[in-house]
Chain A
Amino acid sequence: MKSEPVLSERANSRYKNLYDKYVLPFLFILPAVLLFTVFAWFPILKGFYISFLDYDLLKGASFTGLDNFKAVLSDPLLPKAVINTLYFTLLAILFGYVVPVFLAIAINEMRSAQSFFRLAFYIPVVLPPMVAVLLWKWFYDPDIGLANVLLNFVGLNGLPWLNSPKTSMFSLIIMSTWANAGGSVLIYLAALKGIPVSMYEAAELEGAGIFQRIRFVTIPQILGVMLIMLVLQIIGTMQVFTEPFVMTDGGPANSTLTIMMLLYRYGFKFFDFGAAGALGLLFFFLLVSFSLVYFRLTKKFKD
């Protein structure tokens, strides 16, 4: 059956124009808009809301005012978790952020094997974190683990590693450094490659020695990347979870209980989603304030 077009030719093309101009562009961002609404903005806003509720998955929720915050802030484990997290963050940044600067500078000086070193330092980052954590859990075994076997081999006594509150957190930091430092080395190396040789030559002509050149040319040139990395690392390491969760479950004696571990316990061990939400909200403000610093920095160094 042959039918006449309902719209005139001109109206039809106008309709098509409107479709092309307004509908189609929106259709292309619609999936992302829906996804971000449901799985980013909605939970972010809901985080504020549930912190004020006594949230029970079966019985439903009821408003409790500031009770959750009071409960969380008076939990004796909270200061412990905060201190543990800061301890981890501080040392993880020292080893995983400061040391890699020097490693990258050293690698960048090498006349050969540069790509080998880059690869060798980066390869632990390629390993899945779960595998890396399980691997080190085995190394830290006091009896058959590689760590103590090596210590005994050089004539030292073995350490209790994960089994003592004195050494547990430090053991996690060693593991985490091994697993992550290569990523920082790589990023610094990329930044170092961006420094033009002529700058070193100019500094040399003015009589700057090797260390002076590092101090007055290299470091200032990669300072932007360093600052950005610092904030990113702080944000990242403060969220440490898999390492303590798999290796020690926060123990022994809560010595590796981090903020994320505590959050997990509230939510998924005690099913107290109100308290978990309240702690999450406090954590949210902490992380977002660091993120704001990060964005200020990236903006500044883009120009």
Chain B
Amino acid sequence: MAVKSNTKRSRLVNSFDRAVISHREYADPAVKTAFILVFIFLSLLAVTTIFPIYWMFTGGVKSSTAIAQVPPQLIPEAPQWGNFLKAWGRLNYSLYFLNTSLLCLGALVLQYLISATAAFSLSKLNPVLKKFWLAFFLTTLMVPPNAYLIPQYLTIVRFPVFGFSLLDNWLGVLLPMAVSAFNIFLLKSFFDDIPGDLVDAARIDGANAWFIYLKIMIPLSKAVLAVISIFTIVGTWKEFFWPFLVLKKTSVQPIMVALYRLTSQTVGEPLNLVVAGMAIASLPPLILFFIFQKQILQGISLTGIKG
């Protein structure tokens, strides 16, 4: 993207300096007042974006009467920390967390086995019909998966040629979700920047393609692989619609599907426990975000996708 190349350079100049308004103008009382007003406006807006999340986490520790109380308690008066544990048990989260973690792991492994290998081949191995395969992958970027939802579902119900069903099977979720021309594209453009001499030198020393892939390409691509790994894990954790269609058996469902099912029952769980459950289910993406904030924000500005 055009933006990318500029970003690094201008960050050095730009970051603490100025943008539209110069330092001289900033000293002007009228400008300064406007500045403060905008600052207050942005702060109020920030409160409205953060407050719902605060409300969820505090709602989770309220008693079932306190959570329905009007006017509500801004700060929980008698926080019941046990609610989180209770919700974990009542909503059977051990199972759903395990299911979701395994799905995330599977999705991650598939990206390394499928997208990264293909990107490597297209970038460095010069396969026969290279241009054709590149188009074969990248053209799918133009078709949002929802546009072929029904035929995709029918493919899962009855696998072409072999006729078996992948319903209630994790592969039925993982394989369609592993189709990511975008990741192939991103990895390929990153691999393209690794000098070909490095690969040739390894070749002359008798290294085979596997060795080059595992010992040269992967270690040199940590930055982009980190971005792809985090996006894959977080994306899989958040996924609802496709797993919801494919996994009807409750014992194999991931957390978001389970959460939907638990909240749409006619005789529901108590509200405070459901809210606690929602808070628990958002913790993994939130924690990952705070740990890998730098990579995630960089990845988004780099790729323009929203993780």
Contact = CB atoms under 8 A, between A and B. Distances in A.
B301 A128 contact: no
A15 to B, nearest CB: 14
Given A26-B127, A42-B160, A121-B46, A200 B118 contact: no
Contacts of B259: 130-131, 134
Interface stretch (B16-24, B85-93, B194-202): B16-24
Interface string A177-205: 01010110011011111111100110010
Interface in B41-82: 41-42, 45-46, 48-50, 52-53, 55-56, 59, 67-68, 70-72
A252 B221 CA distance: 51
Interface stretch (A4-12, A81-89, A136-144, A163-171): A136-144
Given A28-B209, A110-B42, A267-B150, A126 B71 contact: no
Contact of B179 (A36, A127, A204, A214): A36
A28 B118 contact: yes
A295 to B, nearest CB: 7
Contact of B150 (A217, A228, A277): A277
Nearest to B31: A210
Interface of B, helix, strand, loop or mixed by DSSP: helix
Contact of B128 (A26, A143, A178, A191): A26
Contacts of B234: 126
B263 interface: yes
Nearest to B289: A126
B213 to A, nearest CB: 7
Contacts of A230: none
Contacts of A260: 146
A190 B4 CA distance: 9
A120 B35 CA distance: 19
A39 interface: yes
Interface in A26-44: 26, 28-29, 31-33, 35-36, 38-44
B49 A124 contact: yes
B240 A106 contact: no
Given A29-B122, A200-B20, A291-B143, A135 B56 contact: yes
Most chain A CB neighbours (cut-off 10 Å) among B15, B150, B159, B209:
B150
B19 A44 contact: no
Given A28-B213, A127-B286, A283-B147, 13 more contacts: A32-B115, A36-B137, A40-B143, A44-B151, A116-B46, A117-B42, A130-B238, A183-B300, A186-B300, A187-B300, A193-B14, A224-B2, A294-B142
Interface of A: 20, 22, 24-26, 28-29, 31-33, 35-36, 38-44, 46-47, 50, 55, 57, 103, 105-111, 113, 116-131, 134-136, 138-139, 143-144, 146, 149, 152-153, 178, 180, 182-183, 186-187, 189-197, 200-201, 204, 210, 213-214, 217-218, 224-225, 228-229, 232, 235, 239, 241-242, 246, 260, 263, 267-268, 273, 276-277, 280, 283-284, 287-288, 291-292, 294-295, 298, 301-302
A-B pairs with lowest CB-CB distance, top 5: A190-B301, A28-B121, A25-B125, A25-B127, A32-B118
20 contacts: A20-B208, A35-B179, A110-B38, A119-B293, A121-B45, A126-B289, A130-B238, A130-B256, A178-B49, A183-B306, A193-B11, A197-B13, A210-B20, A210-B21, A213-B20, A246-B260, A288-B147, A291-B143, A294-B142, A295-B141
Interface of B: 1-3, 6-7, 9-11, 13-15, 17-22, 25-26, 31, 35, 38-39, 41-42, 45-46, 48-50, 52-53, 55-56, 59, 67-68, 70-72, 113-115, 117-118, 120-122, 125-128, 133, 136-137, 140-144, 146-155, 157, 159-160, 175-176, 178-179, 181, 184, 208-209, 213, 234, 237-238, 240-241, 245, 256, 259-260, 263-264, 271, 274-275, 278, 281-282, 285-286, 289, 293, 297, 300-301, 304, 306-307
